[in-house]
Amino acid sequence: MSAPSDAAADPLAFDPYDYGFHEDPYPLYRRLREEAPVFHAGRDDLWVVSRHADVFDVLRDDATFSNRMGVSLDASAWTPHAHRVMSFLALDGREQTRLRRLVSAAFTPRRVKELQPQIQRLTERYLEETLAANDEHGEADWIADFAGKLPMDVISEMMGVPVADRDEVRRLADLVVHREDGVRDVPQAGMEASMELVAYYSAMVRERRTAAEPPGDLTAALTAAEVDGDRLTDGEIIAFLFLMVVAGNETTTKLLGNALFHLSAHPVQKAEVLAAPDDPEPLVTQWIEETLRHDTSSQMIARYVVEDVELHGRTIPAGAKALVLLGSANRDERIFTDPTVYDIHRPKSELGQILSFGSGKHFCLGANLARLEARVVLNELVRQVEDFRVHADRATRVHSTSVRGFAGLRPRSRGGRADGGEEVRAPRTPARGDHRRVVGDRRRDGEGPRRGRTPGRARRPPGRRRRGDRRGDPCRGRRGGRAPARRRRRRVGRRLRRQGDRRPR
Ligand code: HEM
């Protein structure tokens, strides 16, 4: 398959399993949007939809574009029984609404919000270990040491998995989502891990049902959830617990990896973010949203086509498998100004239109949690670390159709201003005008050419809600609850500086 940008004359081809495509899918996405917004990929018999407006419409029309066969490209997961492990993600209409309402009675915004102290504790623990590894080896693996651990532990914490079992549960969960390079389906080890995990969760649900005093965790809350006299069966609870592992684990890991990777590649923006350890949240929030737009971890999802659909002069036949490219929609030049440019100062009116968490009835139930995790983690990173650099040349990419991101990412942190007892002083956060100057300076910093932003150039398709599905997100716009960690940052900075001095940069 070919996706290079300089191959505009090549015939279009789309192979979601191709390694070259995984390296950089964006030039191909651009060609698809331009030349064939509805493209039939013959080899896998997929109908590929790439423009923002079309992706949005498909996601919101679940009568025509059904989730009933699941949303995965894996052949063995494309089945009318997908809901047995994918819960309401693999259901439509009333069935989906019923289950989602019941689950939402337990998986509440309040429960997510209350997780913040635990997420903070896990973050501090794994960050300490990551920085210790950095001290010892001059670098750490952000994925193996940190980002690959935290999201699954947060899910386990929420479900009430005992601490002693969490490493094993994480190992199984990793196997469930792991895809062998070159293998176009779920590997045997993944199937076996799925069965073990389902058995483990079944036992957990049984325990909650029979406990004299059930604990206050999500699993117990699911057994008690009731809407108009309706309740969840054991099978429905287990399927939802399993869905959380598949939907909320690797996606969040990859978001944390992609955030470090892209900010590291943009030194001016990185310096700006790291310059505000006393109040990191405003820029960290923008950093997260722009990462979700620029390089989202969930790039594509499938739909079963219920009846013939005419779109851009093509007929997508009933029974076909449509593939919507969220990653392409987020780069659509009809919506986003200079979509290839990574810009943490992108206006909120544009960021409000990202489709990284989907849209419509299946909008990601865990979007608040994913954002909360990212915010806690990256706030803490800014508080503790004066600088970091990702070895882009040594980053190893995951070759997967369901997630985009890294299997290994080696940032090397270093102390900047901390030196011999001198106080670390966080420079003031640049004012609004400074931001513009920084953006304009980026060419000098090797961040690539940039056309001037034209106010109002980005268009919202008619009839779209301005802030999409993110209304009422309790996680947006709040400040982190912790005091500035200036003292700790100085200590870490000094420690890292010593390390940095020993190693060539
Ligand atoms: C960066 C992290 C994440 C990304 C990019 C992401 C992305 C998505 C997307 C695109 C969908 C829509 C699928 C569709 O329309 O077919 C979705 C659904 C879902 N996500 Fe997430 N997700 C993330 C994190 C999480 C987390 C942390 C959880 C929970 C622990 C979670 C739970 C769910 C659930 C339960 C659904 C199904 C919703 C439904 O079908 O009604 N996700 N996610």
**C-alpha neighbours within 13 Å on the C-beta side of residue 290:** 25
Give the model's confidence band at 413: pLDDT under 50 very low, under 70 low, under 90 confident, else very high: low
Query: Could you give the percent of the chain with pLDDT greater than 70?
Result: 78
The Cα angle at residue 244 between residues 242 and 246, in degrees rounded to 5: 75
Per-residue pLDDT at 503 exceeds 90:
no
- Please give the structure tokens belonging to residue 73: 């490209």
Backbone dihedral angles phi then psi of residue 496, each to the nearest 5 degrees: -70, -35
**pLDDT tens digits, residue range 250-284?**
999 999 999 999 999 999 999 999 999 999 999 99
Q: Which residue's structure tokens are 């929030």? A: 285
Q: How confident is the model at residue 495 (pLDDT cuts 50, 70, 90)?
A: very low
Pairwise pLDDT comparison (479 vs 111), residue with the higher score: 111
Query: Which domain does 248 fall in, by range?
Result: 19-502
Based on C-alpha coordinates, what's the Rg of the chain?
Answer: 23
Would you say residue 4 lies in a domain? no
Question: What span, in angstroms and rounded, lies between the C-alpha atoms of 71 and 302?
Answer: 4
Question: Which of 33-42, 79-88, 175-184, 353-362 has the least mean pLDDT?
Answer: 175-184
Within a domain: residue 89? yes
User: What 3-state class would DSSP assign to 136?
Assistant: helix
Q: Tell me: the pLDDT tens digits for 418-463?
A: 222 211 122 222 222 222 212 122 222 334 323 222 222 233 333 3
Tell me the β-bridge partners of 49: 38, 324
pLDDT greater than 70 at residue 6: no
Start-end of H helices in 105-233: 109-114, 116-137, 150-159, 166-177, 188-210, 218-224
Q: Do residues 308 and 64 make contact, with C-beta atoms less than 8 angstroms apart?
A: no
Concatenated DSSP letters for 345-394?
T--HHHHTT--TT--GGG--TTHHHHHHHHHHHHHHHHHH-SEEEE-GGG
Residue 9 lies in a domain: no
Residue 1 lies in a domain: no
Tell me whether residue 13 is in a domain.
no
pLDDT band for 467, please (50, 70, 90 cuts).
very low
Please check whether residue 384 lies inside any domain of the structure.
Answer: yes
Q: What is the CATH number of the domain that holds 407?
A: 1.10.630.10
pLDDT of residue 425: 20
Instruction: Please state the atom number of ligand 1 nearest to the C-alpha of residue 303.
Output: 16
Mean pLDDT of 23-32: 96
- Residues having CB closer than 6 A to ligand 1 are 59, 67, 71, 88-89, 100, 155, 243-244, 247-248, 251-252, 255, 296-298, 301, 326, 356-358, 362, 364-366, 369-370
Closest Cα to residue 250, out of 302, 203, 296, 185? 296
pLDDT at site 448: 34
Q: Residue 209 carries which side chain, given as an amino acid letter?
A: R
| 7 occurs within a structural domain | no
Query: Is 2 among the domain residues?
Result: no
Query: 208 CA distance to ligand 1 centroid (A)?
Result: 25
Residue 409's pLDDT is what? 67
Residue 412 pLDDT: 59
How many structural domains comprise the chain? Answer: 1
Distance from the CA of 314 to the center of ligand 1, in angstroms? 30
